[in-house]
């Protein structure tokens, strides 16, 4: 309820008025879970922009996977992250803890959620896709039937760059790619995902910089 209200009053208006997202490939957007959305991460607005793409009735099911150490650090942010943003918290630093750090994410998938994952692990260079971490490969090896949808955002790094607090409005572009399937091998899958992302990125750069001229 809170999340739907937040989406209606904040996420949708911000995305509509402050950003204005031009979406290509909307037909690939999953409208039911379980599914995983993979996106490049340049700004806190990425999550807002991704959430805004979904219709209100399923927004409760869309949950960003986020670092527990960053978002659960103080009481207010923690409340916001868990109840409003609806994050699935992951311990970034708990390497020694082993693979069960993914348990919350797997549970969310079993619950029919659409997970949002930024595999770069942190906000990277604007309009670029940095090196991806392997977490998503682990998730897929456990839940191999989950479709993975790559999304590339172009322009959000300009609206709210890392380290800035002032949002400056710009029109942005979103490119959604075809869903990817797990093929039984983590390395193979990560390569396929990296290729899909870089294809979306080069499409973004060509389309945006010389729009059918």
Partner 1 sequence: MNMAYIPFNVQIAFMVIGGLLAVASLVSMYLVRAKPERDYSELRLRIKTWWIIVAVFATAVLFNRTVSVIVLGVVSFLAFKEYLSIVPTRRADHRVLFWAYLAIPIQFYWVWIAWYGLFIIFIPVFVFLFLPMRMILIGENQGFLRAIGTLQWGLMITVFGLSHAAFMLVLPAEVNPAGGAMGLVIYLVFLTEINDVAQYIWGKSFGKRKIVPKVSPNKTVAGFVGGVLTTTALAVALAPFLTPLTRYESLGAGILCGLAGFVGDVTISALKRDIGVKDSGSLLPGHGGILDRLDSLTYTAPLFFHYVYFLHY
Q: How many whole angstroms separate alpha carbon 22 and alpha carbon 93?
A: 36
Question: Closest distance between partner 1 and the C-beta of residue 203, in Å?
Answer: 16
Least distance (Å) from partner 1 to the CB of residue 143? 36
- φ/ψ region of 163 (left if φ > 0, alpha if ψ in -120 to 50, else beta) reads left
Closest-CA residue to 170 (of 7, 9, 14): 14
Q: Residue with structure tokens 């790559």?
A: 150
Nearer to partner 1, 24 or 143 (CB): 24
Q: Which is nearer to partner 1, 40 or 146 (CB)?
A: 40
Residue closer to partner 1 (CB basis): 135 or 157 = 157
In terms of CB distance, is 1 or 166 closer to partner 1?
166
Whole-number minimum distance, CB 155 to partner 1, in Å? 7
Closest approach, Cβ 130 to partner 1, in A, equals 18
User: Min. distance of Cβ 196 from partner 1 in angstroms?
Assistant: 24
Q: Report how far residue 104's alpha carbon sits from residue 99's, in angstroms, rounded to the nearest whole number.
A: 11
**Tokens at residue 55, please?**
């219709």
**Whose Cβ is closer to partner 1: residue 19's or residue 109's?**
19
- Let me know: does 35 contact 115? Beta carbons within 8 Å: yes
Separation CA 141–CA 183 (nearest Å) = 9
- State phi, psi for 169 to the nearest 5 degrees: -70, 135
Angle (nearest 5°) at CA 56 between 119 and 149:
30
Give contact residues for partner 1 (rule: CB under 8 A).
17, 20, 22, 126, 155, 158, 161, 164, 166, 168-172, 209-213
Nearer to partner 1, 96 or 211 (CB): 211
Q: How far is the CB of 172 from partner 1 (least distance, A)?
A: 8
């Amino acid at each position: 309820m809170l999340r739907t209200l937040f989406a209606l009053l904040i996420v949708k208006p911000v995305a509509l008025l402050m950003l204005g997202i031009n979406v290509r490939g909307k037909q690939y957007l999953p409208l039911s879970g379980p599914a995983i959305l993979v996106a490049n991460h340049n700004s806190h607005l990425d999550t807002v922009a991704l959430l805004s793409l979904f219709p209100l009735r399923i927004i409760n099911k869309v949950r960003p996977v986020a670092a527990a150490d960053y978002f659960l650090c103080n009481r207010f942010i923690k409340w916001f992250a868990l109840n409003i943003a609806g994050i699935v918290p992951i311990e970034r630093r708990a390497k020694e803890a082993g693979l069960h750090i993914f348990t919350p994410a797997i549970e969310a998938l079993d619950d029919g959620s659409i997970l949002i994952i930024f595999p770069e692990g942190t906000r990277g260079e604007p309009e670029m896709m940095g090196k991806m971490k392997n977490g998503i490969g682990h998730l897929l090896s456990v839940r191999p039937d989950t479709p993975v949808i790559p999304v590339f955002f172009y322009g959000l790094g300009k609206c709210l760059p890392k380290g800035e607090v002032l949002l400056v409005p710009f029109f942005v572009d979103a490119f959604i790619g075809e869903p990817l399937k797990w093929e039984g091998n983590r390395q193979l899958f990560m390569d396929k995902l990296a290729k899909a992302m870089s294809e979306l990125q080069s499409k973004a750069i060509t389309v945006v910089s010389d729009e059918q001229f």
